[in-house]
Amino acid sequence: MEQWIEPFMDYLILERGLSVNTLESYRRDLGHFVQFLGPNGQPSAEMLTTSNIIAYLAYLRELGRATTTVSRNLASLRSFFHYLVRQELIAVDPTAYVEAPKVEKRLPKVLSIHEVERLLEAPDVSTAPGFRDKAMLELLYATGIRVSELVSIRTGDINLSSGFLRCMGKGGKERIIPLGEVAQQALLQYIEQGRQEMLHQRNSDALFLNHHGKQMSRQGFWKILKKYARSANIYKDITPHTLRHSVATHLLERGADLRSVQEMLGHADISTTQIYTHVTRSHIKEAYVAAHPRA
């Protein structure tokens, strides 16, 4: 089985254009399954049975793995065995009749508009890092892009004269996202007053730079976000994705149509976007209970 994993990874790169993080997730899941089947790392094709798939999922549950983790492992195995069947390396897909564990859909955590405003006002725009941080936060809230997309933006991806951002999303899919005036102004100030100082005489087309003049990392932005959440007195467990969730929720609360939000966020399936309609309904109910005299 192990000899088939690398060709499968090549297929994921060439045919499906998956991100590095997703590829590593596939590799890790398949590696764990290989180790489960054969401690020597060389399980035979005869061991690729439905019974062993079910036993492996049960083993993960015994280890205390979350239902989402178990489901992700099964999804990785399904993709792998579908590939093997298509390549005629095996005759039967052992995952075909294995049911995925039911995952309880949890509503995403979002910030209120007042919390977002406090967060966006937190950076000190008298310094180059402050201009950068203000621009990153404003851009993230203006567009709802993923943090991986944020730190990957190149200088040529921003068109301030027309107010648009070119974003490369999952699977190398490009989308054009409008920028609001506030985000445009924050970006212009950073480019004119902060970025050149942060380059430290280096050459880079990365838009957002760290203190070494290199491209900002996801981990670096995470630390920045945590810092400003504390200074804004936001005590929720905030992540970069929290702002993405907040953007979608605030847009739908104010009448944006579901399809437009889907396009803006880069969701392949509209069912992913529909989760935010449940969030807005829960907010309406909370407001009703808090304000109606006979609630």
What's the rounded mean pLDDT across residues 97-118? Answer: 80
Active-site hit among 65, 109, 118, 170:
170
Give 268-280 pLDDT, tens digit per residue.
Answer: 665 656 565 654 5
Whether 241 is catalytic is yes
Higher pLDDT, 254 or 71: 71
Q: Is 227 a catalytic residue?
A: no
Superfamily of domain 113-291: Intergrase catalytic core (1.10.443.10)
Domain boundaries, the chain: 2-86, 113-291
Please indicate whether residue 61 is annotated as part of the active site. Answer: no
166 bridge partner residues: 176
What pLDDT digit, counting tens, does each position of 54-66 carry? 999 999 999 988 8
Q: Which of 132, 195, 245, 267 is catalytic?
A: 267
Given CATH 3.30.200.20, say whether it is the number of domain 2-86. Answer: no
Mean pLDDT score across all residues of the chain: 83
Share above pLDDT 90 across residues of the chain, in percent, rounded to a whole number? 41
pLDDT digit string, tens, across residues 210-237: 999 999 999 999 999 999 999 999 988 8
Instruction: Say what percent of the chain tops pLDDT 70.
Output: 84
Residue pointed to by tokens 């390549």: 87
pLDDT tens across 127-160, in order?
999 999 999 999 998 888 888 899 999 999 999 9
d(CA 206, CA 145): 16
Catalytic residue check, 65: no
Q: In the predicted model, what is the mean pLDDT of residues 248-254?
A: 78
CA separation for the pair 120, 132 (Å, rounded): 12
- 2-86 matches 113-291 in fold: no
Q: In angstroms, what CA-CA distances link 185 with 69, 104, 265, 272, 276?
A: 42, 41, 22, 31, 29
The pLDDT assigned to 49 comes to: 87
Catalytic residue of the set 132, 134, 244, 245: 244
Catalytic residue among 61, 200, 230, 241: 241
- Residue 40: pLDDT band by 50, 70, 90 thresholds? low
Catalytic residue of the set 146, 195, 245, 250: 146
